[in-house]
Amino acid sequence: GGSLSFNPMDLVECQKNDGFKYPLYSIVFSIVFVVGLIMNVTAMYIFTCSLKLRNETTTYMMNLVVSDLLFVLTLPLRVFYFIRQDWPFGHLLCQISVSLFYTNMYGSILFLTCISVDRFLAIVYPLRSQGLRTKRNAKIVCLAVWALVLSGSLPTGFLLNSTTSHSNSSVKFCFENFSSKQWKAHLSKVVIFIETVGFLIPLLLNVICSAMVLQTLRRPHSVGRGGRLNRTKILRMIVVHLLIFCFCFIPYNVNLVFYSLVRTKILGGCMAESVVRTIYPISLCIAVTNCCFDPVVYYFTSETIQNSIRRKSQGDRFYDTKFSEALQSETSSSLSFSLRSLKSKIFFNESNA
């Protein structure tokens, strides 16, 4: 029944209908591993080798790349597990790969939020925020994000008895099939903490910051030289950023709340359980693709990073040396990825001159 009061139906185990998740996970995680690895290694290379100028935004992005790479490297183990439906790698590796999943998801959410807030300060309060937006402060914020995320994800991975086995066989599950008792005791509390700090507050911050940036950009005097073009770029960047954030994280986090309500038996009935068990794997796959989309955020942000660095430095003389410097570093790196954005940037600037 769907009532909230106790009823005998609650003692009946519902039929599980989520067997489709194993092939789904195997395929999606394999694709995400390949694409995510290539894109994030490329991004890492650009940040460490070819990007001569760094500022606070690149600090957040660098941390986002590290978080994505750590996660991507655990995916082959997960794929192996989903194909065999048995976890042969031992208790510790299961806990680490689970912790890294949550570290990555909520780390990504928080670092993307940092980029959003940083951009908000730069565009809405450019002068007042100059003292705040330093590389040193960005490093402190990143340390705080890592501390917060690890304080949430390590206990989740390590406190739970994450490798469970059927009474009748030696098959080991990794991070599935928790008992309702575990849900009632620990998991529901973890979910409340994760959802508030790791999802709701960042979502609000992202939406508010983006809205205020858009409002500022609509004012006629807001953007100076190269106005219209620059404005379009910033708008495009914000839209891409918000779309990725909402597409990747809203389905999983909303479903996680319902999933916990079902597992703690606050929402009763097999119908409810069947729905959340079906949506859960799909929303998880969407959330995992986030590490392939993050480099898209870098791509759209890289041009505006270069512009903001250029604005900070006085004089056109620096502006010219910066370009020749950037060009040298680009020609030495064979990456068409950053080269493309540079080319379009130079041509835009020439056509605007």
The domain that contains 52 carries what CATH number?
1.20.1070.10
Q: Which two tokens stand for residue 171?
A: 């098959």
pLDDT in tens, 164-209: 666 667 788 887 766 677 777 767 777 888 888 889 999 999 999 9
The mean predicted confidence, pLDDT, of the chain is 78
Q: What's the structural domain count of the chain?
A: 1
Instruction: Flag whether 313 is in a domain.
Output: yes
For residues 149 and 104, the answer to whether their CB atoms sit within 8 Å is no
pLDDT at 335: 42
One-letter amino acid for residue 352 of the chain:
N
pLDDT at 167: 64
Q: Which two tokens stand for residue 280?
A: 């859960």
pLDDT band at 326 (very low <50, low <70, confident <90, very high): very low
Instruction: Flag whether 243 is in a domain.
Output: yes
Q: Give me the domain span that covers residue 317.
A: 8-161+173-352
Q: Give the helix ranges, DSSP H, for the chain.
A: 21-45, 56-72, 75-84, 90-124, 135-159, 180-182, 188-195, 201-218, 227-263, 270-288, 290-312, 316-332, 336-352
Instruction: Flag whether 178 is in a domain.
Output: yes
- 90 CB contacts (<8 Å, ≥6 apart)? 163
178 or 347, higher pLDDT:
178
Q: Which two tokens stand for residue 228?
A: 């219209």
| SS3 of residue 173 by DSSP | strand
Residues 244 and 104: their CA atoms lie apart, in Å, by: 15
pLDDT at 168: 60
Contacts 24+ apart (CB under 8 A), 295-298: 295/39, 295/40, 295/42, 295/43, 295/65, 296/240, 296/244, 297/61, 297/112, 297/115, 297/237, 297/240, 297/241, 297/244, 298/43, 298/46, 298/61
Residues 226 and 232: their CA atoms lie apart, in Å, by: 10
Instruction: Flag whether 84 is in a domain.
Output: yes
pLDDT in tens, 17-73: 788 999 999 999 999 999 999 999 988 888 888 766 677 888 899 999 999 999 999
pLDDT at 8: 47
pLDDT band at 222 (very low <50, low <70, confident <90, very high): low
Residues 295 and 236: their CA atoms lie apart, in Å, by: 15
Instruction: Flag whether 168 is in a domain.
Output: no
Q: How many residues does the chain have?
A: 353
Instruction: Flag whether 42 is in a domain.
Output: yes
Instruction: Flag whether 323 is in a domain.
Output: yes
pLDDT at 221: 66
Instruction: Flag whether 2 is in a domain.
Output: no
Residues 80 and 57: their CA atoms lie apart, in Å, by: 36
The sign one gets for the Cα dihedral 54, 60, 63, 68 is: negative
Q: Which conformational region is residue 85 in: left (phi greater than 0), alpha (psi within -120 to 50 degrees), or beta?
A: left
Among 15, 20, 116, 10, CA closest to 61? 116
